Amino acid sequence: MYPLFLSLLLTGVTALPPRPIFTLPSPPSSPLSWFESLAARPSGLLLATRGDAPEIWQLDPLTRTGALLVSVAGAFNLTGIAEIPPPPGGEKETYIFASSHIPAPMEVTPGSAKVWKLVLPSAGPGKAEVTLLAALPQAGIYVLDVETAEVTTLMEGVEGVNGVRVDLAGGWVYWANHAGRTLNRVRVKEGGGGLVAWGAREVVMEGQTVDDFAVDVGRGRAYVAAMFENEAVEVGLGGRGGGGWRRRM
């Protein structure tokens, strides 16, 4: 993270060093600049939120270029970002992202968190439903209805929770425990009052620094951002003792 860059580590017979795909120009970068979270667009471009500024950048991994896409007035800095299906009949990409007041690393001003919506052109139709919110101080995971703005509790007692992803089709919720250095999951299902967690909580990966992450359900893998280690780690979703594995990308 210092200096700011995104790196892609390749695997093969011979290990290769990290390869930066984009570096923030100076200015606007500083020694305390970093990208907090990533979302992949259907086009293959990446949306990157800045953890030190209220900005979303669009990056092209192939050309190794990037440009400022959105500057969010009224926000101090940005955190997680995730795509949600557009409303029925919609043809635009829709993303939910969060902001909070973080004056210094690992310091968050209570009551400063907000959730925002970003709409971009060129996406297929879908159904807007819910997104998940991770609250570290409350050690909880919450469900946000993006249509009504209603928030309900999915799980409590989730220590160290940071990033969170949902696979509704497969019936899983995944979350990162930053303090415990684990990636975890639990079964979920639709209940009378909405999404319900059930069954035992499972550890998918342990012993690895994890900030935020993405899940590729089709390939059975997760991709973990290792924060200050400046690397991404590929993880199998078999779970501890169930075929899980990991490697540097």
* Tens digits of residue pLDDT in 102-112: 877 677 888 88
Does 232 score more than 50 pLDDT? yes
On average, the pLDDT of the chain sits at 75
At 147-160, the pLDDT tens digits run 677 888 888 888 88
- Torsion on CA atoms 177, 210, 227, 98, rounded to nearest 10: -50
pLDDT value at residue 141: 87
Q: How far is CA 173 from CA 61, 105, 111, 157, 210, in A?
A: 28, 27, 25, 15, 16
Lowest pLDDT segment from 120-124, 142-146, 230-234: 120-124
Does 17 score more than 50 pLDDT? no
Lowest pLDDT segment from 47-61, 183-197, 223-237: 223-237
pLDDT value at residue 128: 44
- Can you tell me whether residue 228 is helix, strand or coil? helix
pTM of the model: 0.57
Q: Which one has a higher pLDDT value, 162 or 47?
A: 47
Lowest pLDDT segment from 5-19, 102-116, 122-136: 5-19
CATH 3.30.2320.50 fits 137-249, yes or no: no
What is the DSSP code string of 51-68? SSSSEEEEEETTTTEEEE
Does 235 score more than 50 pLDDT? yes
Does 139 score more than 90 pLDDT? no
Does 244 score more than 50 pLDDT? no
pLDDT value at residue 193: 66
Nearest-angstrom CA–CA distance, 98 and 162:
12
pLDDT value at residue 10: 36
At 54-69, the pLDDT tens digits run 999 988 877 878 888 8
Average pLDDT over residues 126-135: 63
Which of the four pLDDT bands, split at 50, 70 and 90, describes residue 237?
confident
Nearest-angstrom CA–CA distance, 162 and 138:
11
Q: Could you tell me the sign of the dihedral formed by the alpha carbons of 56, 92, 117, 142, in that order?
A: negative
- Burial code (b: 16+ CB inside 10 Å, e: under 16) for 56-74 equals bbbbeeeeeebeeebebee
Domain spans of the chain? Answer: 1-7+19-128, 137-249
Does 185 score more than 90 pLDDT? yes
Share of the chain above pLDDT 70, in %: 75
pLDDT value at residue 174: 92
Most confident of 85-89, 164-168, 240-244: 164-168
Q: Which residue has the tokens 């990308």?
A: 249
